[in-house]
Each structure stands twice: as structure tokens, then as C-alpha cells.
Amino acid sequence: METKVSETKKFMYINRHAPHGTVYAHEGLEVVLIGAAFEQDVCMAFIGDGVFQLKQDQDTTEAGMKNFSPAYRALGDYEVNKLYVERESLEERGMSEDDLMPLTWEDEDDDWAEKPSIRVVSRQELSDLLEEQDVILNF
């Protein structure tokens, strides 16, 4: 296998943990934001309890923790705009797309039109997406 320094790889960040109970979601998001500077072909997948990361209206004030959920809104500015959410995981949790933060990005090739970043996909579609990747990190 040939590896070139200039090569663009397909990176997928899989998020399978709920926020706040453990730090994986928070520190995983930090990897994605730093990684955005490397100009790779990046997407995120939210599977299982990972879908809870995108829940609207998170407020950690009473729990005395940091609320990192607003940082997901920054993803679009970093050109991380493919956020795949597994439909089956939402349904199993009694959740729907309306529960998720309305994350968007601005498409410079389309006169900076604001477009949704979140795409709810089936398990089968997600399985296909997994196969396409070069590097997969799991948080």
C-alpha cells in the first residue's frame, strides 16, 4: 500500500457514548475540531447512545459540569458537515430527528446557502459508509 504525505484520507469519527456520563463524547469532539485543520475528508457517525450527544436543550448548570454541546454548532464552520445519525438508534430510544440540534453549514459552492449537517441514515446505509473509510476512530 502506497502512502503519500499529501494524500487525502477518509476519516470517520464514530460516536457511541452518551454525553456527560463519560468524557468520551467531549474529548472525541475535540479530536474532530483539531482534525478539521488537516483538510481530510471527514464525517461523523452517531450510533447507539451516541445519538444523545446531539440532543437539544442540554443544560449542565445544576450538575455543575461543563456544557460542551454548543461546540457541535461550530462543526459547520470547520467544514465538518456530514453527521450521520443512525435511524434505528433514535427509534430504539424513543427519539426523533426533531430532538436533535439543528446543525447547519454554509455551502460556499452554492452562494453560502445554509444546509443541514445532520443526515438520518439507516443501519444498512451506515454499514456501507463504514466500508468506504480509510481511518475510523471510535469515541
Kindly tell me which of 49 and 105 has the beta carbon lying closer to another protein.
Answer: 49
C-alpha cell read off for 71: 461546540
Minimum CB–partner distance for residue 105 and another protein (Å): 20
C-alpha cell read off for 111: 452562494
| Chain residues that interact with another protein, rule: CB under 8 A | 1, 3, 5, 7, 9, 11, 14, 16-24, 27, 30-31, 34-35, 37-38, 40, 47-49, 52, 55-67, 69, 92-95, 99, 123, 126-128, 130-131, 133-139
* Cβ burial, residue 118 (10 Å; 0-12/13-18/19+): buried
Kindly tell me which of 81 and 121 has the beta carbon lying closer to another protein.
Answer: 121
Written in H, E and C, the secondary structure of 105-130 is: EEEHHHCCEEEECEEEECHHHHHHHH
Cα 90 from Cα 67, distance rounded (Å): 22
Minimum CB–partner distance for residue 74 and another protein (Å): 14
Kindly tell me which of 113 and 136 has the beta carbon lying closer to another protein.
Answer: 136
120: Cα separation from own chain's centroid: 11
Minimum CB–partner distance for residue 111 and another protein (Å): 31
